[in-house]
Amino acid sequence: MTEIGSFLEILIDLVSLLSLIGGLFFLFVGTVGLLRLPDVYNRLHATTKCDTLGAGLILLSLAVQCTAPVAVRLALIIIFIIVTNPTAAHVIARAAYNTGIKPDLGRRDASD
C-alpha cells in the first residue's frame, strides 16, 4: 500500500516536472516568434498559440500538485486563458486589417 502511494507520488512529480519544462519551452518558442517573424499577422499567429499552450501547461503542472480547492481555481484560470487569448488575438488582427496593414504574403515582384 505504501509502495503504491510513493509510486503515485513520484509519478505526479514527474508529470509536474515534464509539464513545467514543456510549458517553458512553448513560452520561449512564442517569444522567439514574436521577435523574429516579419509581420503583425505572423507574430499574432505564433505568440497566441504558443503562449496559450505554455501558460496552460505551467498552470497544469501546479494544479496536479495542489489540493482540490486550489486546483479548481487554477483550472478556472486555465479555462479563462484558453477562452480569452484567441479572442484578443482576433480583435487585434481585425484592428490591424481595418487600419490598413497589408499581410506580407511573401511575393516579391519588381516593385519591391
What is the number of other CB atoms lying within 10 angstroms of the CB of residue 109?
5
How many Å apart are CA 32 and CA 105, to the nearest integer?
A: 20
How many Å apart are CA 52 and CA 77, to the nearest integer?
A: 11
Interface of this chain with another protein, residues 67 to 96, rule: CB under 8 A = 69-70, 73-74, 76-77, 80-81, 84-85, 87-89, 91-96
| The only residue of 3, 5, 68, 99 in contact with another protein, by rule CB under 8 A | 99
| The only residue of 20, 22, 64, 86 in contact with another protein, by rule CB under 8 A | 20
Contacts for 37 with CB less than 8 Å, ≥ 6 apart? 43, 45, 46
DSSP state, 102? Answer: P
19 scored as a contact of another protein (CB under 8 A)? no
Q: Name the residue type at position 24.
A: L
How many Å apart are CA 3 and CA 33, to the nearest integer?
A: 45
53 scored as a contact of another protein (CB under 8 A)? no
27 scored as a contact of another protein (CB under 8 A)? yes
Binding positions for another protein, rule: CB under 8 A: 10, 13-14, 16-17, 20-21, 23-24, 27-28, 30-31, 34-35, 40, 43-44, 47, 51-52, 54-55, 58-59, 62, 65, 69-70, 73-74, 76-77, 80-81, 84-85, 87-89, 91-96, 98-99, 101
